[in-house]
Amino acid sequence: MVVTGSVESLLECRQVKKHYGALKAVDGINLNIAAGETIGIGGPNGAGKTTFFDLISGLTAVSAGQVLFNGQAITGIAPHKLFHMGMARTFQVTSGFGSLTVLQNMLASVVNGSGNEEAGLLLSKAHREKSMSCLAEYGLADIADDLVSNIPVLDRKKLMVASAVVHHPQILLLDEPVGGLMPAEIDEFIELMINLRGKGTCIVFIEHVMRFLTTVADRALIMHQGKLIYDGTPPGMAADPLVKSVYLGSEADEMGGD
Ligand SMILES: Nc1ncnc2c1ncn2[C@@H]1O[C@H](COP(=O)(O)OP(=O)(O)OP(=O)(O)O)[C@@H](O)[C@H]1O
């Protein structure tokens, strides 16, 4: 059966579910995301946020439901193919090849993300130039020759984003981009995200740091027990009684809720 989605939606989820035995990790999510939106996803630990990202990005097979990207059903398509189709993703655990340099990491993304599926890394001058220009944009050019295992966490996180966006994805999924960062580093990341948002990239991120979520996102989604319990403005979360009771607690008062 050919499934087609709404042309207005960049990403559409229809009754998406992931069940592990009796555990309903993701339990029937319906969602439409338009091009250019910036969406922050919150919710208590174990709510199903990362599993939901895994279903969208092809890392885990759905138990039921459909995910459509640009109107095309993408359930069952491998993550690297989705990357070539314009969907990029980063992970909660800061990743990267620790034994390679910052430049070599970026080159891997530039070459492998280009859609060329032949084995091996054939590097050209253009690949290096593209890599260095992207590193410069993220303030990483000066450490291009450092081993990734030796650079600070903030720079590793920036490199993860820079590698993900080097091919200008239509949608970027970020799993806890500022987890573990200091307040000043979070500020730096906020600026980086606002800059990316300004270029029209659709950004969907999972984040527990509410200051980051409310500053960067123009739409907030809250998950609880595999379901979406809130879909609205970021400031509106603080006034939502269910969101307050299962997730925000006293933080809702600090955010200006009742
Ligand atoms: N492969 C798996 N097998 C069995 N259960 C799993 C698996 N992956 C996730 N779960 C369970 O699914 C539920 C949702 O987990 P998930 O990691 O998606 O939550 P989360 O909202 O991202 O949490 P956190 O904020 O702590 O990262 C949890 O109860 C988790 O233990």
Phi, psi of 217 (to 5 degrees): -85, 150
Question: How high is the pLDDT of residue 119?
Answer: 54
Distances from the Cα of 39 to the Cαs of 119, 155, 160, 174, 205, in angstroms? 36, 23, 19, 10, 6
**List of residues 6+ apart from 152 with CB closer than 8 A:** none
Contact 227, 30 (CB under 8 A): no
Is the pLDDT at 116 greater than 90, yes or no? Answer: no
- Domains, the chain, in order of start with CATH, read 1-86+169-258 (3.40.50.300), 97-167 (no CATH)
Give yes or no for residue 217 CB within 6 A of ligand 1: no
Question: How high is the pLDDT of residue 167?
Answer: 87
Question: For ligand 1, atom 4, which residue shows the shortest CA distance?
Answer: 20
Q: Which residue stretches of 66-137 are H helix? A: 79-85, 102-112, 125-137
Amino acid at 90: T
Strands of the chain, DSSP E:
9-20, 23-34, 38-42, 64-69, 72-73, 87-89, 171-175, 202-206, 219-224, 227-232
Is the pLDDT at 151 greater than 50, yes or no? Answer: yes
Question: How high is the pLDDT of residue 117?
Answer: 60
Question: How high is the pLDDT of residue 80?
Answer: 87
Contact 138, 159 (CB under 8 A): yes
pLDDT digits (tens, 9 = 90+) for 40-58: 999 999 999 999 999 999 9
pLDDT digits (tens, 9 = 90+) for 3-36: 444 557 999 999 999 999 999 999 999 999 999 9
Residue scoring higher pLDDT (79 or 123): 79
Distances from the Cα of 68 to the Cαs of 31, 71, 101, 129, in angstroms? 10, 5, 36, 34
Contacts of 195-198 with C-beta under 8 Å, sequence gap 24+, read 196/161, 196/165, 196/172, 197/38
Mean pLDDT, the chain, rounded, equals 90
Residue scoring higher pLDDT (117 or 199): 199
Residue scoring higher pLDDT (116 or 225): 225
Is the pLDDT at 121 greater than 80, yes or no? Answer: no
Number of alpha carbons in the 13 Å side-chain half-sphere of residue 209: 19
Ligand 1 midpoint to CA 54 (Å): 10
Question: How high is the pLDDT of residue 257?
Answer: 59
- Unique residue bearing structure tokens 């400031």: 235
Average pLDDT over residues 162-168: 90
Q: How far apart (Å, rounded) are the C-alpha atoms in residues 188 and 94?
A: 17
pLDDT digits (tens, 9 = 90+) for 67-101: 999 999 998 899 989 998 999 988 877 777 888 89
Is the pLDDT at 229 greater than 60, yes or no? Answer: yes
Question: How high is the pLDDT of residue 2?
Answer: 43
Question: How high is the pLDDT of residue 258?
Answer: 55
Distances from the Cα of 198 to the Cαs of 22, 80, 98, 182, 185, in angstroms? 43, 26, 31, 24, 20
User: Which residues pair with residue 13 across a beta bridge?
Assistant: 31, 67
Ligand 1 midpoint to CA 153 (Å): 24
Q: What is the longest distance spanned by two Cα atoms in the chain? A: 59
> Residue 12: which region, alpha, beta or left (left: phi > 0; alpha: psi -120 to 50)?
beta
Ligand 1 midpoint to CA 20 (Å): 10
Mutate to test the pocket of ligand 1, among 16, 27, 50 (most ligand atoms within 8 A of CB): 50
pLDDT digits (tens, 9 = 90+) for 187-228: 999 999 999 999 999 999 999 999 999 999 999 999 999 999
Question: For ligand 1, atom 1, which residue shows the shortest CA distance?
Answer: 20
